[in-house]
Amino acid sequence: MGPIKIGIVGVGKIVRDQHLPALAKDQSYRLIAAASRHGRVDDIANFPSIEAMLDAVPELDAVSLCMPPQFRYDAARTALIAKKHVFLEKPPGATVSEVEDLKRLATANGVSLFASWHSRYAPAVEAARAFLASAKVKSAAINWKEDVRRWHPNQDWIWAPGGFGVFDPGINALSIATHILPAMFITSAVLDFPENRAAPVAAQVVFRTSNGLPVTMDLDWLQTGPQSWDILAETDAGKMVLSGGGAKLSIDGKIVHDEPEAEYPMLYRRFAEIVRAGVSDVDLAPLQHVADAFMLGKRNVVEAFFD
């Protein structure tokens, strides 16, 4: 079986920073086309739309969809019906129900669908999962505090309805937490909406695990200075700190795992694996928690936000 001939759709910052370098180094793929309204990729065929790309390059096996979530369903549907394997950037859609629909379409068309959660592939996540599986957890806390002006400058779509706001980074935290902690659900939430924006800039969420343990999540998008992407757990085997967005693991202050980050290379390795195996990989738990937070959460209106 030759390399997977892949096209990329929605050429923005995440594609240039992560997808292109990961694909360039992976022998399982050959990037042969791109489709984007504004961006382009050098040295391959570029098209204004996914429809134009699929028409002109029928030999494509797969597509990676990296446009904002509000526009992902239509492109995914088009690709799945054309029998292309589909890699969805996170979040996989603007609603849970639409991704359920894409799962049905993928199965009906005999192709693979991948709802990618890059933070799950951070270097120390599996070590944290193994530690928590062997210990008795008493409580956990997710602290995800970053400066939106630094990480998402002038990205208006992220503040639009369906743009998730601070849950855009928060869903990364949830993709790790739902992988390493027991099943949990939200019992209360407070979401802070800037008075001039349709998405929250901060959120405090309280979860409970099935066996009654408390898990808190504190999301803040106005954190200047040091940035925090940490999951902490109190356990009978010591205090676990998974920091740097899953990069580094320490137990009782002692670093036990610290390796260089390779999230997107691992995502593409996983995608190749499910394509070869003829299966899909679509875990919606992180997105489900975000929807639940919006449904259950109390809304505060806070100071206007300007980039």
Indicate which residues carry an active-site annotation: 90
186 Cβ neighbours under 8 A, 6+ residues apart: 205, 206, 207, 289, 292, 293, 296
User: CA 294, 291, 109: angle at the middle one, nearest 5?
Assistant: 155
How does strand 29-35 pair with strand 45-47? parallel
State the nearest-atom distance from the C-beta of 307 to a copy of itself, in Å.
Answer: 20
Considering only 56, 139, 298, 303, the residue that binds a copy of itself (CB under 8 A) is 298
The answer to whether residue 214 forms part of the interface with a copy of itself (CB under 8 A) is no
The answer to whether residue 51 forms part of the interface with a copy of itself (CB under 8 A) is no
Give the integer Cα–Cα distance in Å for 145 and 140: 16
Give the integer Cα–Cα distance in Å for 114 and 267: 9
CB-nearer residue toward a copy of itself: 103 or 149: 103
CB-nearer residue toward a copy of itself: 24 or 295: 295
User: Which residue, 117, 87, 122, is CA-closest to 102?
Assistant: 87
Read off the tokens for 178: 């739902």
Considering only 28, 46, 49, 95, the residue that binds a copy of itself (CB under 8 A) is 95
34, 40 Cβ separation under 8 angstroms = yes
Considering only 43, 225, 260, 295, the residue that binds a copy of itself (CB under 8 A) is 295
State the nearest-atom distance from the C-beta of 256 to a copy of itself, in Å.
Answer: 30
3-class secondary-structure state, position 249: strand
Considering only 2, 59, 210, 306, the residue that binds a copy of itself (CB under 8 A) is 210
The answer to whether residue 97 forms part of the interface with a copy of itself (CB under 8 A) is yes
User: Which residue, 70, 53, 71, 49, is CA-closest to 62?
Assistant: 53
State the nearest-atom distance from the C-beta of 252 to a copy of itself, in Å.
Answer: 31
CB-nearer residue toward a copy of itself: 178 or 243: 178
Considering only 17, 55, 100, 252, the residue that binds a copy of itself (CB under 8 A) is 100
State the nearest-atom distance from the C-beta of 156 to a copy of itself, in Å.
Answer: 14
The answer to whether residue 198 forms part of the interface with a copy of itself (CB under 8 A) is yes
3-class secondary-structure state, position 225: coil
**Residues between 171 and 190 with contacts to a copy of itself, criterion CB under 8 A:** 183-186, 188-189
b/e sequence 14-27, b meaning 16+ C-beta within 10 Å: ebeebbbebbeebe
121, 267 Cβ separation under 8 angstroms = yes
State the nearest-atom distance from the C-beta of 257 to a copy of itself, in Å.
Answer: 29
Q: At what angle do helices 72-81 and 96-109 cross, to 10 degrees?
A: 10
Considering only 94, 113, 140, 201, the residue that binds a copy of itself (CB under 8 A) is 94
φ/ψ (deg, to 5) at 257: -155, 125
Task: Print the binding letters for residues 103-122 with a copy of itself: x by CB under 8 A, - otherwise.
Answer: -xx-----------------
State the nearest-atom distance from the C-beta of 52 to a copy of itself, in Å.
Answer: 20
CB-nearer residue toward a copy of itself: 7 or 297: 297
CB-nearer residue toward a copy of itself: 12 or 69: 69
Give the integer Cα–Cα distance in Å for 49 and 37: 7
Q: Which residues bind a copy of itself (CB under 8 A)?
A: 73, 94-98, 100-101, 104-105, 161-162, 183-186, 188-189, 193, 198, 210, 285, 288-292, 294-299
